[in-house]
């Protein structure tokens, strides 16, 4: 790290630690701490949201961890310990468990907020130092359905295959299950441009969100019916003669079966199913098909379902039939969520994956990566299992007995969280690396305190596939180590472990070699090149060749260069409503809180803006339940309940209730959610289950 070598900059041009927009910011070291200033960058154009403005408050927060913590016996208290004692304890337990039960007795859980270097090092540590197949990460909760659908249609998964600025020039922009006014506020600047240029914004969301309120047209479907809506849009487009025949013939395969499938999606029937009026479906199809530059974007509202992959495929089918992907200024994309949600899914913390977005079951990929790692390809483990299956197997007779967590707080964020919490309690060893005592850290046997973003160098890949630099401003507090130093310290204590580098730049150089030739090729990306420009877009195989802000202009990344249609059919939510659980429950975010809230719940201004959980419901439903604004209500599902004050809103569907998922304890939304997962991606159905609501 630059700061460790004695250079101590007074200011650092870096990016926000939170979401995938990775807004540009400048950090200044002052006598009272660290000040944040907005920095103009193509994504945020000088804007920051409240979370970004206040991010530095956690650097010197009284809750910050600055010493390892150990629990000496189950049920005992966590007590401060030295690093050698903590790392020895972890390494000894890992060795004992692996000796007794085999290497798969140990599991690793990563996060989409980790830098590329950390994500890469975590995957290598699991496969080489621990030799376990059990590694997965919270991107499974977030990106996996869009990733799977993108891969099967285009042969590659880059959330936005074009720069974000293209949104500002779109004639029609369709946002499906995305609420960027709260989840990426500076992105709205591009949408303001779009509308000032005369473009149309159409939003699909069961709630009239801050984003939907700015739209020209708001489709308000029943949660879980987006797939049917997309098929109806394609049905109408074909009926009206909007098919781009030349494009479909030249650039795609598989259209005929999709044509047959959508023929059955009569708009009137889809209106009955989804509640979206036929006239609105027709207006949407027309708005997409009769302009030059139309863009379709999905986010978690459409994706976090047990049919999320097929739902995204339905919107990709629509985009392909209209000839959008690869046309300048047009296309399909998904809005990646976490700070490094894109890079975090490319470099090997996913159960089935090796660096460079290679598949772990591909012999050539194993050969290539094993060579970079200096090991025998046969020694690399095979594919593990997706996050929910992994967490749900912990501590069971056939499941892992130890878990190392880097960058996630599943006690709050996992579906059916009470069950996952009890699985974590059943482990022989739970290790959490974090800079705060998250709810998951509270259960740990060993807590390892790590650096924060302003104390680290590294790279992040934003929602556009643009690789950026995170730059350190200051030294970490005494007693704190980087994630890379922790992995290296553990590797050194394990048998036959190759040494792991701790300098992020050295790790990046290795990552470049490991990714070379893979779908996400970083071989041509250097830190200097990133510094010299506003980042570098992957794939970039050649240091002296161009990067690729826009994909698909002449070919897709499939073997024959053509995009693939996938026929998909609607199916109901995994848990239908019934007499006992008559309402649909859906979940999401509010502006002032981030994810499981470990960080943002500790920032005073954010706590004031969003002090606690709530349940959003329609006034008619509230009247039926005898509930007024602020009345504590209980939301009960077959799995558990949450308790929080009612918030009345005439803009939500009367058959649907909503709660944000940022809080632990009684208000924990994931006590209620369903653990059904998508059969292809393993993405949980966070966005719909059956509940009843009662006065608490
Ligand atoms: N403030 C804030 N910003 C964040 C985050 C945060 O925690 N807080 N997290 C970041 C991360 S990791 C992510 S993944 C992104 C997520 O960004 P978004 O996807 O924009 O966020 P969500 O609120 O999860 O979901 C979006 C919308 O989906 C709607 N929805 C619910 N069910 C359905 C459905 O069945 N169909 C449709 N069409 N819509 C539905 C919800 O009403 C909600 O308004 O945000 C990122 N930015
Ligand atoms: N009901 C419901 N549940 C959801 C969702 C939903 O829409 N509804 N959304 C899902 C989605 S999209 C996501 S992305 C997940 C996210 O949920 P989580 O996986 O829980 O993510 P975070 O809350 O960001 O947790 C990150 C933790 O790691 C720590 N941390 C941050 N940076 C670092 C680092 O560099 N190193 C280390 N070691 N630790 C770090 C933070 O302090 C924090 O405790 O939640 C999912 N859960
Ligand atoms: S929009 Fe995202 S990246 Fe930008 S300041 Fe807010 S949290 Fe940070
Ligand atoms: Mo996410």
The number of the ligand 2 atom at minimal distance from the alpha carbon of 406 is 38
Question: What is the SS3 string spanning 542-606?
Answer: CCCCCCCCCCCCCCCCCCCCCEECCCCCCCCCCCCCCCCCCEEEEEECCCCCCCCCCCHHHCHHH
Same domain, 592 and 650: yes
Same domain, 283 and 418: no
- Which of 589, 597, 616, 617 gets mutated to test ligand 1 (max ligand atoms within 8 A of its CB)? 589
- The residue whose CA is least distant from atom 10 of ligand 1 is 337
The CB of 411 under 6 Å from ligand 2? The reply is no
Q: Which of 309, 299, 219 is nearest to 267 (CA)?
A: 219
CA–centroid distance, 449 to ligand 2, in Å, is: 17
CA–centroid distance, 218 to ligand 1, in Å, is: 16
CA–centroid distance, 210 to ligand 1, in Å, is: 12
The CB of 664 under 6 Å from ligand 2? The reply is no
From 306, 335, 364, the end of a domain falls on 335
Tens digit of pLDDT for each residue in 376-407? 999 999 999 999 999 999 999 999 999 999 99
Mean pLDDT of 177-205: 97
The number of the ligand 2 atom at minimal distance from the alpha carbon of 669 is 1
From 309, 335, 361, the end of a domain falls on 335
Same domain, 217 and 133: no
**Please, which pLDDT band fits residue 581 given cuts at 50, 70 and 90?**
very high
pLDDT at position 2 over 70: no
Determine the pLDDT at residue 310.
98
Determine the pLDDT at residue 32.
85
CATH of the domain at 228: 3.40.228.10
φ and ψ of 380, to 5 deg: -75, 135
Tens digit of pLDDT for each residue in 258-274? 999 999 999 999 999 99
Determine the pLDDT at residue 96.
98
- The residue whose CA is least distant from atom 36 of ligand 2 is 407
DSSP-derived secondary structure for 492-531: HTSTTPPPPP--HHHHHHHHHHHHTTSSS--TT--HHHHH
pLDDT at position 5 over 60: no
Q: Is residue 556 included in any domain, yes or no? A: no
CA–centroid distance, 321 to ligand 1, in Å, is: 27
CA–centroid distance, 414 to ligand 2, in Å, is: 9
Q: Is residue 570 included in any domain, yes or no? A: no
CATH of the domain at 432: 3.40.50.740
The CB of 231 under 6 Å from ligand 2? The reply is no
Determine the pLDDT at residue 134.
98
**Please, which pLDDT band fits residue 7 given cuts at 50, 70 and 90?**
low
Q: Is residue 658 included in any domain, yes or no? A: yes
Same domain, 362 and 321: no
Q: Looking at the CA of 589, name the nearest ligand.
A: 1
- The residue whose CA is least distant from atom 2 of ligand 3 is 19
Mean pLDDT of 556-568: 98
Same domain, 216 and 98: no
pLDDT at position 187 over 70: yes
Q: Is residue 565 included in any domain, yes or no? A: no
Mean pLDDT of 536-562: 97
Cα separation, 14 vs 25, in Å, equals 5
- The residue whose CA is least distant from atom 11 of ligand 1 is 337
Contact 265, 232 (CB under 8 A): yes
The CB of 164 under 6 Å from ligand 2? The reply is no
Q: Is residue 98 included in any domain, yes or no? A: yes
Determine the pLDDT at residue 3.
45
**Please, which pLDDT band fits residue 8 given cuts at 50, 70 and 90?**
low
Determine the pLDDT at residue 371.
98
- Which of 141, 424, 437 gets mutated to test ligand 2 (max ligand atoms within 8 A of its CB)? 141
Same domain, 361 and 284: no
CA–centroid distance, 604 to ligand 1, in Å, is: 23
Give the environment of ion ligand 4: residues with CB less than 5 A.
142, 337
The CB of 482 under 6 Å from ligand 2? The reply is no
- The residue whose CA is least distant from atom 40 of ligand 1 is 301
Same domain, 137 and 153: no
Q: How many helices (H) and strands (E) does the chain have?
A: 22, 28
CA–centroid distance, 541 to ligand 2, in Å, is: 31
Mean pLDDT of 442-456: 98
Mean pLDDT of 607-629: 98
CA–centroid distance, 32 to ligand 2, in Å, is: 29
CA–centroid distance, 112 to ligand 4, in Å, is: 8
Q: Looking at the CA of 476, name the nearest ligand.
A: 2
CA–centroid distance, 331 to ligand 2, in Å, is: 29
CA–centroid distance, 55 to ligand 3, in Å, is: 10
- The pTM for the full model equals 0.97
CB neighbour list of residue 31: distance below 8 Å, 6 or more residues apart:
none
Q: Is residue 589 included in any domain, yes or no? A: yes
Please state the separation of Cα 287 from the chain's center in Å: 30
pLDDT at position 147 over 50: yes
Q: Which of 20, 7, 11 is nearest to 468 (CA)?
A: 20
The CB of 300 under 6 Å from ligand 2? The reply is yes
CA–centroid distance, 659 to ligand 2, in Å, is: 17
Please state the separation of Cα 680 from the chain's center in Å: 17
Same domain, 533 and 618: no
Q: Looking at the CA of 306, name the nearest ligand.
A: 1
Helix axes 226-239, 278-289, angle to 10 degrees: 60
Alpha-carbon distances, residue 438 vs 135, 137, 447, 538 (angstroms): 21, 17, 10, 34
Cα separation, 412 vs 407, in Å, equals 13
Determine the pLDDT at residue 496.
75
Determine the pLDDT at residue 1.
40
Write out residues with Cβ below 6 Å of ligand 1: 19, 142, 176-180, 182-184, 204-207, 209, 223-224, 226, 299-302, 337-338, 586, 588-589, 591, 593-595, 658, 687-688
Determine the pLDDT at residue 628.
97
Mean pLDDT of 448-458: 98
Q: Is residue 12 included in any domain, yes or no? A: no
Q: How many domains does the chain have?
A: 3
Determine the pLDDT at residue 466.
98
Q: Looking at the CA of 16, name the nearest ligand.
A: 3
Mean pLDDT of 646-666: 97
Same domain, 530 and 404: yes
Tens digit of pLDDT for each residue in 197-217? 999 999 999 999 999 999 999
Q: Is residue 438 included in any domain, yes or no? A: yes
Range of the domain at 659: 583-695
Tens digit of pLDDT for each residue in 483-520? 999 999 999 999 877 789 999 999 999 999 999 999 99
CA–centroid distance, 338 to ligand 4, in Å, is: 5
- The residue whose CA is least distant from atom 40 of ligand 2 is 407
From 282, 313, 335, the end of a domain falls on 335
Determine the pLDDT at residue 498.
79
Contact 271, 206 (CB under 8 A): no
**Please, which pLDDT band fits residue 182 given cuts at 50, 70 and 90?**
very high
Same domain, 327 and 178: yes
Q: What percentage of residues in the chain have a pLDDT greater than 70?
A: 99
Across-strand partners of 695?
633
Average pLDDT, the chain: 97
Mean pLDDT of 21-34: 95
Same domain, 300 and 348: no
CA–centroid distance, 613 to ligand 4, in Å, is: 19
Determine the pLDDT at residue 570.
98
- The residue whose CA is least distant from atom 35 of ligand 2 is 114
- The residue whose CA is least distant from atom 31 of ligand 2 is 407
**Please, which pLDDT band fits residue 694 given cuts at 50, 70 and 90?**
very high
Q: Looking at the CA of 596, name the nearest ligand.
A: 2
């Amino acid at each position: 790290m630059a700061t460790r070598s004695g250079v101590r900059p007074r200011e650092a041009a870096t990016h926000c630690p939170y979401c995938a927009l990775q807004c540009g910011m400048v950090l200044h070291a002052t006598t009272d701490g660290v000040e944040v200033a907005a920095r103009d960058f193509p994504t945020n154009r000088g804007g920051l949201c409240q979370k970004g403005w206040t991010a530095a408050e956690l650097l010197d927060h009284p809750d910050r961890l600055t010493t390892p913590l150990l629990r000496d016996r189950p049920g005992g208290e966590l007590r401060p310990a030295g690093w050698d004692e903590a790392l020895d304890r972890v390494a000894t337990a890992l060795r004992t468990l692996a000796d007794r039960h085999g290497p798969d007795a140990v599991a690793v859980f990563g996060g989409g907020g980790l830098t590329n270097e950390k994500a890469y090092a975590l995957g290598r540590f699991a496969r080489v130092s621990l030799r376990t197949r059990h590694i997965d990460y919270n991107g499974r909760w977030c990106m996996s359905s869009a990733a799977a659908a993108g891969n099967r249609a285009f042969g590659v998964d880059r959330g936005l295959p074009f720069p974000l600025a293209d949104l500002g020039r779109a004639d029609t922009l369709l946002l499906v299950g995305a609420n960027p006014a709260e989840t990426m506020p500076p992105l709205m600047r591009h949408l303001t441009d779009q509308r000032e240029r005369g473009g149309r914004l159409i939003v699909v969301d069961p709630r009239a969100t801050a984003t939907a309120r700015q739209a020209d047209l708001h489709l308000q479907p029943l949660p879980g019916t987006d797939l049917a809506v997309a098929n109806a849009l394609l049905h109408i487009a074909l009926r009206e003669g909007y098919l781009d025949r030349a494009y479909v013939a030249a650039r795609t395969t598989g259209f005929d079966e999709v044509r047959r499938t959508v023929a059955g999606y009569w708009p009137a029937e889809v209106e009955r199913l989804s509640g979206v009026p036929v006239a609105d479906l027709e207006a949407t199809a027309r708005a997409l098909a009769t302009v030059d530059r139309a863009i379709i974007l999905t986010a978690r509202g459409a994706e976090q379902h047990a049919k999320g992959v097929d739902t995204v495929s339905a919107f990709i089918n629509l985009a392909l039939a209209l000839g959008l992907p690869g046309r300048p200024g047009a296309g399909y994309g998904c809005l990646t969520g976490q700070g490094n949600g894109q890079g975090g899914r490319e470099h090997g913390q996913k159960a089935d994956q090796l660096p460079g977005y290679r598949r772990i079951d591909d012999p050539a990929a194993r050969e290539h990566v094993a060579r970079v790692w200096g090991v025998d390809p046969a020694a690399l483990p095979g594919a593990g299992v997706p996050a929910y299956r992994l967490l749900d197997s912990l501590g069971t007779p056939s499941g892992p007995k130890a878990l190392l967590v880097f960058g996630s707080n599943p006690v709050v964020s996992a579906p059916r969280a009470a069950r996952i919490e009890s699985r974590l309690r059943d482990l022989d060893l739970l290790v959490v690396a974090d800079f705060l005592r998250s709810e998951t850290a509270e259960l740990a046997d060993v807590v390892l305190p790590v650096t924060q973003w302003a104390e680290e160098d590294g790279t992040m890949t934003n929602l556009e596939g643009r690789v950026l630099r995170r730059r350190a401003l200051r030294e970490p507090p005494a007693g704190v180590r980087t994630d890379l130093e922790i992995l290296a310290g553990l590797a050194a204590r394990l048998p036959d472990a190759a040494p792991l580098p701790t300098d992020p730049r050295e790790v990046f150089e290795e990552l470049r070699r490991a990714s070379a030739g893979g779908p996400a090729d970083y071989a041509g990306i250097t830190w200097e090149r990133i510094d010299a420009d506003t980042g570098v877009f992957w794939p970039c195989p050649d240091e002296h060749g161009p990067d690729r802000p826009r994909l698909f202009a002449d070919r897709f990344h499939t073997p024959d260069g053509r995009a693939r249609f996938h026929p998909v059919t609607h199916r109901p939510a995994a848990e239908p409503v019934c007499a006992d659980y008559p309402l649909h429950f859906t979940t999401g975010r509010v502006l002032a809180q981030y994810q499981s809230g470990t960080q943002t719940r500790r920032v005073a201004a954010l706590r004031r803006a969003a002090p606690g959980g709530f349940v959003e419901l329609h006034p008619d439903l509230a009247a039926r339940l005898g509930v007024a604004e602020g009345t504590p209500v209980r939301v009960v599902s077959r799995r558990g309940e949450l308790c929080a004050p009612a918030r009345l809103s005439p803009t939500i569907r009367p058959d649907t209730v909503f709660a944000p998922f940022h809080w632990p304890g009684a208000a924990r939304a994931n006590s209620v959610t369903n653990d059904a997962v998508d059969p292809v991606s393993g993405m949980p159905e966070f966005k719909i289950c059956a509940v009843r609501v009662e006065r608490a």
